[in-house]
Amino acid sequence: MKQRIFSGVQPSGTPTIGNYIGAMKGFVDLQDKYEAIYCVVNQHAITVPQNPKELKHNTKSLAALYIAMGIDPDKSIIFVQSDVPAHAQAAWLIQCNLGIGELERMTQYKDKAAKQESISAGLLTYPALMVGDIVLYDAAYVPVGDDQKQHIELTRDFVDRFNYRFGQGKDLLVKPEGIYPKNGTRVMSLQDPTRKMSKSDDNVRSFISLLDPPKTIIKKIKSAVTDSIGEVHYDVEKQSAVSNLLEIYASLSQRSIDSIVEEYQGQGYGAFKNDLAELTVETVAPIQERYEKLMAGNDLQDIVTDGATKANKIASETLARMESAMGIH
Ligand code: TYM
């Protein structure tokens, strides 16, 4: 039997090329080797305020993007988190086995809390929901970007704790491992290379969304910050902005950073940026074409309904196992 992988993306905006490079591109490659389960994690998105209409649209849109990108619903399960009640139910069991101190140490919590006027309890307990997403499917691997490493570590700690407390010598839950990409595990903002590229950034010039029209992509890449050194060179300390563009280039072209550096030697940034813009447009154009068709057609609803049925079956069995071990069912 194939091992399982699980991953999710929040519909808190349209995915960026950061999400694509850091995680989603890998989803497609991994679906042949593993039994893959990909989730639109809409319950995670509401840990910060969302416009309900936009959230609903973004949820559908993300499911369409998964398929448009190349996730094949005949091979992989694609579903929406709120269609599977076991996620919220498991999150409660998990919260009761995590410490507030552990949750307060999560950097994603600290970063997001710093941006909120009032912090929801859900923002703090968010990792419990994420731990549940993963353990409910006995996932052996979780393809994610670098910013989720801490959450994966927490999941691993939780599994050890749960098995120790309730397993009576047996491993009730599977301990997962993260899978991280070679290049672009942390794609940075095009306007500030000290900050992560984020789909919810107020400055739309800081990210490229998978649904940006070609003209916008070209404009955003041309106006990406660089430096006054004027040489395409990979040096994260001294040339962080150019190094970030190089990582994007390497990931989208599947070439090595060294070969790209060599190609643009002595040419300044103009040609490099033009080619990167072209490469990005070429990457997203076919995705956008398939996306438009899916959004206009009737197949999408059937695909996520079918995905939820399959996901429900797996998740409810694990939930029952957890509840029974804890003596509450
Ligand atoms: P989210 O929605 O913020 O991001 C989705 C995926 O994209 C990766 N990512 C990036 N990779 C490289 N550079 C960036 N700038 C960048 N920004 C985001 C993220 O690492 C992620 O893999 N908590 C998760 C969603 C989640 C999840 C899960 C993931 C909920 N439950 C279970 C895996 C398994 C999140 O906020 O992703």
Local mean pLDDT, 10-residue blocks, the chain (329 residues) = 95 97 95 97 97 98 98 98 98 98 96 91 97 98 97 98 96 97 92 95 96 98 97 96 98 97 96 98 98 97 98 98 95
Output the residue whose Cα is nearest ligand 1's atom 4: 9
Strand partners, 235: 239
Distance CA 152, CA 177 (A): 7
> Quick check: 148 and 137 in contact, CB under 8 A?
no
**Distance, CA 16 to ligand 1 centroid (Å)?**
11
Distance CA 156, CA 48 (A): 25
> Quick check: 9 and 62 in contact, CB under 8 A?
yes
Atom of ligand 1 nearest to the CA of 12: 2
Cα-flanking dihedrals φ and ψ of residue 7, to 5°? Answer: -155, 165
Output the residue whose Cα is nearest ligand 1's atom 6: 19
Query: What pLDDT is stored for residue 184 in this prediction?
Result: 80
Atom of ligand 1 nearest to the CA of 196: 15
Distance CA 142, CA 38 (A): 10
For the annotated catalytic residues, the residue numbers are 112, 196, 199
Query: What pLDDT is stored for residue 1 in this prediction?
Result: 81
- The verdict on the CB of residue 42 being under 6 Å from ligand 1 is no
**Distance, CA 28 to ligand 1 centroid (Å)?**
15
Residue 288 exposure: Cα atoms within 13 Å on the Cβ side = 14
CA distances to 127, 137, 139, 262 from 313, rounded to whole Å, are 23, 10, 15, 52
- The verdict on the CB of residue 9 being under 6 Å from ligand 1 is yes
The two tokens of residue 16 are 């960026």
- The verdict on the CB of residue 7 being under 6 Å from ligand 1 is yes
**Distance, CA 86 to ligand 1 centroid (Å)?**
21
Query: What pLDDT is stored for residue 116 in this prediction?
Result: 86
Output the residue whose Cα is nearest ligand 1's atom 27: 8
Angle between helices 121-135 and 149-166 (to 10 degrees): 70
Pocket test of ligand 1: the residue of 5, 7, 19 to mutate, having most ligand atoms within 8 Å of its CB, is 19
Atom of ligand 1 nearest to the CA of 10: 2
Residues whose CB is less than 8 angstroms from the CB of residue 264 and which lie 6 or more positions away in sequence, other chains included = 232, 271, 272
Query: What pLDDT is stored for residue 263 in this prediction?
Result: 97
